[in-house]
Structure 1
């Protein structure tokens, strides 16, 4: 039988306080960082859409080539990458669209979690380029996306939309398709 001496009790209490401190220190540090205004930031290539906009709640209507309306909320949770083109989509525009479709392919097993939507008049040789194999082609019925559409000829901008219809990020004209690919790999897992 061991007897409890004041030294043993003091040592036990010190060990107990140390265990509490190990668990409390990260919480205290996070609270102090938050109070000081610091927020973690990740490197994203797209620009956040502020204020956020929900295309489903705003009733943004996209009419597909087959006459159906684009469903922002799908049967399964899938994000949507919208390509918006400027006037006269030609070689540079087609090249960017191809790289965007390739970014979807690099998602491998998660590729089905991203839908590609092309909004606007299809390029002249879209059928021969196999664009319809990757993209759903539609038109903006009420011009609700005109603020995001580029005005520069032969250019593309993009929007990344959450599965509930919330627009997350905008990729303006001249965006880096490899940066878009990196963003997609972060958000689609």
Structure 2
């Protein structure tokens, strides 16, 4: 006479099978994440990111970024695309804002996951900047870099000399500076990078 099946042993076998199936499905995703963020040089050149990875990523939660009411502006809720300017938003700044606005709009239902932030020196006239930019860029957040720490972290020049960090800078929803893009980057390759990151990440 055969012994009755052991329910405990059967339960353990079921758990092992379940874990094995879960591992099979999770391993490709985990491998893709590891390669993309830890070893991008392994990705074929025509598929890699268009920006430059900041390694290691730099935390930005302690930056002294204040709005026109003097309140701190955190960069830890969504993906943030950072533009620097010397305070008057001339032609280079205007072009960068126009390009990033159109790129963000092209994200469609994903665009709410990406914010745009204009960082200016501490003595900038934010009221004048809002008057200049709000109509064309209602989503744009404008902040003062009170102690120059943002310019230093993002690789900017001297605020007194009116030097700005070239290009664009990407901060993730965990408030880590993790990607920089060259000045004059076209919207199409920038959008490809942003879409890839948004698809790969469920945060923000």
Q: TM-score range by the shorter chain?
A: 0.5 to 0.7
Query: Of 179, 192, 198, which residue of structure 2 is paired with 1:182?
Result: 192
Identify the residue that residue 127 of structure 1 maps to in structure 2.
Answer: 131
| Partner SS for 1:51 | strand
| Partner SS for 2:173 | coil
Alpha-carbon deviation of 1:157?
2.1
Which structure would you say has the larger Rg?
1
Alpha-carbon deviation of 1:156?
5.2
Counterparts of 1:156 and 1:100 in 2: how far apart (Å)? 14
Query: Of 54, 59, 81, which residue of structure 2 is paired with 1:54?
Result: 59
**TM-score with structure 2 length normalisation?**
0.61
Q: State yes or no: 1:149 paired with 2:156.
A: yes
Identify the residue that residue 13 of structure 1 maps to in structure 2.
Answer: none
CA deviation map 1:30-58 (0-9, x unaligned): 9xxx9xxx8335421111112320112xx
Higher helix share: 2
Query: Of 138, 147, 163, which residue of structure 1 is paired with 2:143?
Result: 138
Alpha-carbon deviation of 1:69?
0.7
**TM-score with structure 1 length normalisation?**
0.66
Alpha-carbon deviation of 1:144?
1.4
5+ residue gaps in structure 2?
Answer: 1-23, 36-40, 200-204
The 5-angstrom pairing of residues 36-185 of structure 1 reads 39-41=42-44, 42-56=47-61, 59-74=62-77, 78-86=78-86, 89-120=89-120, 121=124, 127-129=131-133, 130-147=135-152, 148-149=155-156, 157-185=167-195
5+ residue gaps in structure 1?
Answer: 1-22
RMSD: 3.2
